[in-house]
Amino acid sequence: MQPSEKVFCKKYEKRITELEAELRWIPISEEMPLQVSGHWGSELVLATDGKQVWVCKYNFSAYYWTAPSADITHWMPITLPNKS
């Protein structure tokens, strides 16, 4: 590998690590989605029970997910593309 290729790889290796950290599944034992101010639920998130994935909210008033499974184990924010 040429020296210039090593610099190129290091540059993108750091960015890949940053993106992976941003897009990880968050265990519900570690953190729950944030509640929308003045609303019963969270923002829409992706949630999984380890078998399927749903777009849903967490209901803070009744303590349940608005997904067909009651066994949600992990969630992740939905990141929307920039409008710029």
32-62: pLDDT as tens digits: 998 888 888 888 899 999 999 999 999 998 8
Output 72 or 6, whichever has higher pLDDT.
72
Look at residue 27 in the predicted model and tell me its pLDDT: 95
- Per DSSP, 20 falls in state H
Q: Could you tell me the residue ranges of all domains in the chain?
A: 25-84
The Cα–Cα gap between 82 and 84 comes to 5
The Cα–Cα gap between 56 and 66 comes to 5
The Cα–Cα gap between 55 and 39 comes to 18
Q: Is the confidence at residue 79, as pLDDT, over 70?
A: yes
pTM score of the predicted model: 0.68
